Structures are given as structure tokens and as C-alpha cells.
Structure 1
């Protein structure tokens, strides 16, 4: 099956459990910080243990800066399309164009009926979905309502607001008519493991392509999103092994079938960190190599014994001038990628601090209640973002201290002076993170305005400057000091 050549995207699919609401939002913040593209939330309004999907996405949108927000998938029978269009457009405006709408015709009809949604036959539910898509797109385009359908009507509606960008519509589809509808109308197709496991994807994908071509569309106009589930370990099977196993399986799905967005179901922050740091960059590398040809370079001697042949992805490119293969160089490159996430998010923290400082200056003593509330909200938002960043840096250094450093010392005891110095630098950064945390507590606990608030903000800025200087110097030193040892010995 074809590779449509689309850019790869990755995200998470956390459980919207009401009794873990802080953890859910923090997991989304973590995904944002480590550079994943999507956080996607299921929608079952009749499920007593779940938070409301749109309310949760709004809270996540307020606590993140880059990650895209999607329903996976919105329960149409309980979400009237005009209200759904307005909710999606409003959140899109508030988050600067980060909303994508996954949409479903309906399932679990007992729950839907108990919640007042009414019960529909399969044909009725798909007919209603077609009408809903018409209403959604007309609303977002700012077109006056003209539809008077069998299931929905928007005749006479004056729509608004318009979204900040063209909101893509994903459809969860498995059966023939829904697949045809996806090929004809949707921007994305979103199957899930358990309903469509990898062996089922090629046939479904071929039918989707056929429907797209029949509607005068190019198959690559439809992004293929896949909800996946698994764990890291040493077992066999789909998404049950090492990060490299995951990356190779995702590569097969991307270049063999055309899936280009992978949303992993997890509630584990350690899994998210490892997925972002190890699986994502390796998958991008392997897919790029496959798209460029994927063959063993001519400069390498051919392998004559198939039993001893290494995986093509292990030896896919020639050795560099330093004597390392590209596969070996990918190991220190992964460390640099993680560090680059830390650098980019540190720049974001500094930008937010700058914005808060400007807010303090512009409202003076903040005499009005509205200005006071706005400033407090800005301080709380800043505090939450910085707190999340501190946790990410601490977690990264802890993983190095407990995993990577001992592995390198076992492999090469002469590295002890280098590792000792890097560990000492971790201690310095940890102390500066504690100092930043105390400054954040003082800022958020303060009134947030007037001279006390300004002093607290000055203290925070000074602490952030000291952290920036030390952390950036440490990251650069570590990359230089460990480049060759990581290329030789790996992460462990």
C-alpha cells in the first residue's frame, strides 16, 4: 500500500478521569513540553467517571502553548452540530488555531438514549452525520444557515465566531458506508486498535482511497490517524517491545500503509517522556531513510550470510568522517533533540515571564477588579507552566543519573571524571530549579499586583536568569562531553 509522504505527527490519548483531573492536565502539559503534536480526548457524556470533553480540552488549551487539541471522537447524537461548531470555533480562537475535530456517528446507544440523545438506526446515524458536517463547515465559513434537513436544521442561523484556522474533521470509520463517507468528505480517518488492528488496515485503507478518487479527491488529502495502545518491555507482538521495536512497527505502518499520525493511549508520564525522547525521533529517522531508498550504501561490503545480516535500519547509511555510522550518531543526536526541547521550552518560559512583566507595567497598580483578576490569572498560568518545566528538567536529569550515567561508567570507567562533573552540574541546576520554584510560589501567593507583586516578579526574573545561564551551559557541555561515549556505548 502507498506511502502518502505526509509529515509524521504524534500525540497522546489520556483517560479523562474526573478523579485524576490534575494528572490529566499535567500529562497534556508534559506532552506539550516534550514536543508531541496532539492531545486527543474521547467523548462519552453518559460516562459518570469522565470529565466533560470540551471543558477538559479548554482547561488543557489554557495550560499549553503548542499542542493541538482534538475530540476522539465527539459524540454527535449528544452534541448538536451548531453548538458543536460554536464550541470548536471558540476554542480554536482562544488557543490560536489548535483545534481538530474528531467526529463519530454514535455508539453505545443505551447510554446515548439515557442521556437524552435518542436512538438512531445505522442508516439514520450516518445520514445525520452528513448533515452535521454540512452545518459545521458552513458555520466555520461564516455562511448563513440554509439547511433544513431530516435530522438537523440551521435555516436562518447567523453563525459566529469563525475559527482561527480551517478546522480539520476526522471521522472514526470502519464499515463500508462510513469509509466511503470519509473518503468523500473528511480531512482525516481515525481508526483505533481493538476495532481495526494493523492487519485490517490495508483493506480499509484501499477502500478509503477508492472512495476518495471516486469523489475527485487525492488519497493524500486524507490524513490517516491511528489510535494505538501498548507498553515498553521485552515481549513480542504489536507495541510490546523496546522503543526501537515501536519505531520499526510505526515505520512499517507509515511507509507500508500510509498512516501518518499516531495517538498513543497512556496515562503514564514516564512513558510519555520515553516515547517522545526515543520512539518519535527514531521513527522520523527510519521513515526518512525508507523514503530516501532504505538500501545499504554501496560503500558497505555486502552481507552474504542472511542469518548474520543486521537489520537494514541498523546500518542504513555510510560511516561519517568521525568513524561512526549514522545509526551510532543517532544516539547522541537523540540527546541533543531532548536538550533542544528543553531549550525551546525555556525560551517559552522566558517569553511568558516577559509578557507577565509587561502586564504588570501596563495596568499600574491594577485598581480595577478586572485588572486584578487578569493579573492573578496570568500569574497562575505562569506558575503552572514553569512548574511543569521544572518537573521536566528534573525528570530528565534523574533519568540520566539513574540510567545513562551508570551505564556509561560500566562500559568505560575512565569516564568517571566526566560523569562526576556532569552529576555535579545536575546538582547546581537542581538548586536553581528549587530557587525558581520558591520564586513562583511567592509570585502566585502574592496579591499579584502593586509593589509586592513587582518585587516577586523581579525575584522570579533573577532566578530564571541564573537558571538559564547554568542550564544552557550544562546542556552544551554534556552534548560535547558525551558525544563519542554515547555513539560507542549507547544509552544503555
Structure 2
């Protein structure tokens, strides 16, 4: 779900004391290249880290536009009354540029080691609830004296103030159910980190926040969805943010349109990476999201078939996405299922129209499948190359040639293992989130989804065969014939399955969405 929030981009810098001036310089660079937000880690128990609030204050003095926030403030080590005054004061001095990321304190032993409270995880959440009450009360100068008889914080007639220059947003670093519920009920924003909350986990977490927000009488869109990210501009795009800027653009735009994430904070202390992110990624994400959000809702004319594609069999009005056909060719004599017993889903209502955003879900499925098809083709090519190396009489005439040959075997094994993980991860995501959603929204799809889930299990077993054959190849107990046979069977099952899945799910995904 796209919550329609404004896109914001920023940096997540490491506050190393030995390079404190460089941290300030990177913050200034963040502003110079046009980004919107500078954030700093807050781990007071880290001996090599400078104090986050002091650094934020110096950064505020050296900048004029970017917003500033701890990412996230360690509440157990920062008394909420004082923290509220610090944030309000910096907001006043910076012209209303401060936001407040808060965390319950995940490193409990480190906190206790420097004199902080010894809290369980549950107590940390309870204390955070009280801290938010204190902070907001301090900012409300018209509320009168503050009294709070909490388990963790007690205020007995404290005077509020100062009020910040603008309404400071409170963003929570949350991952587990109680923290997600707290975010939906009380916070202005959710601030997870991709290394702890991978993209495939976001739908369930967002759903928990939305449910809590609605239970509290709030609109889910009132909770800003932020995301700490990191990556590399080297790679083929098979992993999250591992590839050229175009890959970053597509993946981040998709997260905005499908998962509602709207603020992307780059974790990097490298100036060139920050520059490239600002120059090559941010404009592209803004353009794609804006184009999608302003896309008219009229039906899209049906286009001509692409090479290697056919339109899905179900006649649907305006659906442009096409399923990839199964050409029927098979490499292996072994058959692991009877394709004639595959169920088909419901037909679509005549004249059904689909917006570009609706069609994006089915197109995404085909794009993911096309990547798997391409990787499978590369995998087979590698096997052919290794086979050719083994068949070259000159390759066995010297020790160097023999070592190169073993290196080829090792490279093949690594590549196959990576590919198998990608396929398994794709299927696991469907089984865990997409399929239950489709089943609940349209029970008529249940037979198709049951069959797809069964085929996922079969393909998983075939991937195990590939892995086993590779182990035997490297150990020398088996030759390439076993690897080739396993890959033949993988090609037959996977390509057939992907075509069947697209044939049956492209239209339901356009109609019902991914989750």
C-alpha cells in the first residue's frame, strides 16, 4: 500500500570521535547534494563514538536546510525530560529542523554496564511509553504542571517548556509486536533498519502498525514509514540494493508503491556513495513514484505480444501484462508431476479495467521470474564451460591447468548455491505472504495456490539434488553428468512452474494486489 507520503532522503552517519570533523563534513555534504535529512547513531556506551547530541548541535550550526535526528536516541540513557528540552532547544536554534528518533535500548547489558537501568525487553517498552508521555508533555507549554506517577518515570509538578519551533515528530525504531503496536498507536513514524527488517518482512510489520493505528482511532497514513538502507552499486540486482543505480531506483520506488516506505536514509560514511545516491538514485525514485501516483485510472490498451510471451488465456479488459509460455520442451526423462492435473483459477469479469498501479503487481511477478530464467540460463552456460574444460586434453597436461579446472568447479558451486538460495527465497516469500493474501481475498484461487505450494516443495527437492551433485563433483566422487542431469530436471520443473504461476496469478495479482 502506498500511503501517499512525501518522499524524503537522507544519510545515517557513524559518529566516530576520531573523525568527528569528517562526520560534520559529511553532514554538510548531505545538504549540498540536495538530500533532506541527517541522522546519527546514538550508542553512548561505545567508547569510540562521540556524543550524538553534541554532534547534532554542531551540524545544525554548519547547515541551514537539512533536518536532523538521532537514529535512534537511547532512551534508557537519556532521561526523557532532559531529552525533550534538548530536542526543543536545538529545534529553536536550528529554525525548526529537528525530529526525534527513539529506541527502547536494545543493548541492555551495555546500558547497564555504564550505569543505566537494568531492564527486560518488556520493561524497556513500558519505559518508552512513559518517556513519550513525558516528552510530549514537556513540549506542551499550555498544559500546566506535569505529573506522572509511572513505574519508570515520576514527575511531581514539573513545569513544561520550552516548546519547539515546530511540531517535532517522534519516530520509533521497532521490530517486535509490542513495539510495532506502540508505533501505530502513538508515534509519528516507524524507523526500522533493513539489516534487521528485510524488505520481505515489511508487509507483516506494516500490517501490525496499521492495525494498531486503526484501533487507536488513527489513520495508518499518519505514521510515516522510514527505512535505514545500505548497499553497493556493484552487483547484478539479485539482492536488495546490490547493483547499479537503476536497480536502486526500481527497488526503492517499488517499496514506496507497494509497501508504503517513504523516507530512505542511506547508511554510508563514503562521500562518493552519498553523492551518487543523491545524483543518480533519488531523482529516479522521485520520478517513478510521481509518475505512478499521477497515472490516470483509465484502462491501458492491450499491447502486442512481446517475443517469448503470450497474453494470458483469461480475457480481461485492459490488462497489458503477459505470461511467459511453456514451450513444452523437456530435457529430462524424469517427470515429477502431471501437468494435466493442474487446476485453473476463476475467469475474470468481462470488461474489467486495471490501473497501471494494479498491473504493476503482475508485472513485478513476471520480472522476478524473468530474472530467475536468466540466471538459470547462465547457470547452464557455466556447466557447459566446465564440461568443455574437462574435455580438453590439454587441460590435464599440467598442474596449473588442473588447478584452474578445480577453480572452475568451485566457482560453479558457489554460483549454483547462490542461485538456489534466490529461488528458495522467492518461493518462501510467496508461501508466507502472497499466497495467504490471495487465498483469503478470493477463495476460488485455493486449488491453484495449493498446487503451486506443492510444486514449490518439489522444486526445493530438485534444488537439493543440484546441491548434492555439486558436492560430489567437488569431492571427485561423481562427474559433471550428475550435475547436468540435476540441472536438466531443474530446468524442466522450474520453467514449467513459472509459466503456470504467471498464467494463473498475473490477473489475480492485478485485481487483489500482493498482500
TM-score (norm 1): 0.61
CA distance in 2, matches of 1:296, 1:303: 21
- Note the C-alpha offset of 1:106: 1.0
Show structure 1 runs of 5+ residues with no match. Answer: 317-492
Q: Report the 3-state secondary structure (helix = DSSP H, G, I; strand = E; otherwise coil) of the residue aligned with 1:103.
A: strand
Match in the other structure for 2:51 = 52
Match in the other structure for 2:192 = 191
- Note the C-alpha offset of 1:295: 9.5
- Note the C-alpha offset of 1:91: 0.5
Q: Report the 3-state secondary structure (helix = DSSP H, G, I; strand = E; otherwise coil) of the residue aligned with 1:288.
A: helix
- 5 Å matches for 1:230-269? 230-236=231-237, 237-269=239-271
Count of residues paired in the alignment: 311
CA distance in 2, matches of 1:300, 1:27: 49
Kindly report the root-mean-square deviation, in angstroms, between the aligned alpha carbons of the 2 structures.
Answer: 2.2
Bigger radius of gyration among the two = 2
Match in the other structure for 1:209 = 210
- Note the C-alpha offset of 1:41: 0.7
Match in the other structure for 1:150 = 151
Match in the other structure for 1:43 = 42
- Note the C-alpha offset of 1:296: 12
- 5 Å matches for 1:36-115? 36-115=35-114
Closer, same or farther: CA 248–308 of 1 in aligned 2, 3 Å? farther
Write out per-residue CA displacement over residues 234-293 of structure 1, whole angstroms, 9 at most, x where no aligned residue.
Answer: 333110111110000001100000000000100111111111111001000111122233
Q: Check the 8 A contact 1:82/1:154 in 2, yes or no.
A: no
CA distance in 2, matches of 1:308, 1:38: 46
Correspondence for 1:286 among 285, 288, 291: 288
Show structure 2 runs of 5+ residues with no match. Answer: 312-319, 322-355, 357-515
Closer, same or farther: CA 23–303 of 1 in aligned 2, 3 Å? farther
Closer, same or farther: CA 298–73 of 1 in aligned 2, 3 Å? closer
Match in the other structure for 2:314 = none
Write out per-residue CA displacement over residues 142-198 of structure 1, whole angstroms, 9 at most, x where no aligned residue.
Answer: 132111211102221112221101110001111111111110000000111111110
Write out per-residue CA displacement over residues 395-428 of structure 1, whole angstroms, 9 at most, x where no aligned residue.
Answer: xxxxxxxxxxxxxxxxxxxxxxxxxxxxxxxxxx
CA distance in 2, matches of 1:298, 1:226: 32
Match in the other structure for 2:275 = 273
- Note the C-alpha offset of 1:298: 6.8
Match in the other structure for 2:25 = 26
Match in the other structure for 1:368 = none
Larger RCO, structure (CA 8 Å, separation 6 or more) = 1
CA distance in 2, matches of 1:223, 1:299: 35
Q: Check the 8 A contact 1:92/1:164 in 2, yes or no.
A: yes
Q: When you count helix as a share of all residues, which structure comes out higher?
A: 1
Match in the other structure for 1:138 = 137
CA distance in 2, matches of 1:23, 1:14: 10
- Note the C-alpha offset of 1:307: 5.8
Closer, same or farther: CA 307–25 of 1 in aligned 2, 3 Å? farther
TM-score (norm 2): 0.58
1:171 aligns with 2:172: yes
Q: Report the 3-state secondary structure (helix = DSSP H, G, I; strand = E; otherwise coil) of the residue aligned with 1:98.
A: coil
Match in the other structure for 1:325 = none
